[in-house]
Amino acid sequence: MKTQIDQSSWGVKSVSFWSVLIIAIGIIFIGGRFIIHPDVGAVGYGIPFESSNDAAYGRIKGIRDIFSGVVLLPLLWMRMRKAVAWVFTAAILVPACDFLIILSYNGGSDLSHLLIHGITAVVMLIISVLLFSRQKNPHAQ
């Protein structure tokens, strides 16, 4: 039984590493936008606020988005490919549910926001497959 974390050679030379890093930084940016300008974040999400009192919910969403991105950073730093793969794959739930929320709230006519959330989920699924796929290097995780 292994008692230490196995750090593989996976890292900065990997497309999956950079893809996860870019998405993590992107969601941190989106979270920051929700905190600084919650009304702009809500419009970008696809469901604008109905009153100024809704801004608190935008800020709540913002801090959760920031956490979603930040949680991946130490795993990337430590080159923990399997941990990144599992956390990143579980996170696909977020854009998939966002897609369903937009669909239920705005209907099928809001194609632009549906595509944003739907394509994000599909891209994340593709990156997850890359993360879980074995490399030709037998030492890579």
Distance of alpha carbon 15 from alpha carbon 123, whole angstroms? 13
Distance of alpha carbon 68 from alpha carbon 85, whole angstroms? 14
Distance of alpha carbon 46 from alpha carbon 76, whole angstroms? 30
Query: What would the mean pLDDT of 4-27 be, rounded to a whole number?
Result: 86
Helix or strand or coil: residue 17?
helix
Q: What is the pLDDT of residue 86?
A: 98
67 or 8, higher pLDDT? 67
Residue 123: name the closest of 34, 41, 26, 48 by CA: 26
In this prediction, residue 1 has a pLDDT band, given cuts at 50, 70 and 90, of low
Look over the chain and give the mean of its residue pLDDT values, rounded to a whole number.
91
In this prediction, residue 140 has a pLDDT band, given cuts at 50, 70 and 90, of very low
Query: What would the mean pLDDT of 16-34 be, rounded to a whole number?
Result: 97
pLDDT tens digits for range 54-106: 999 999 999 999 999 999 999 999 999 999 999 999 999 999 999 999 999 99
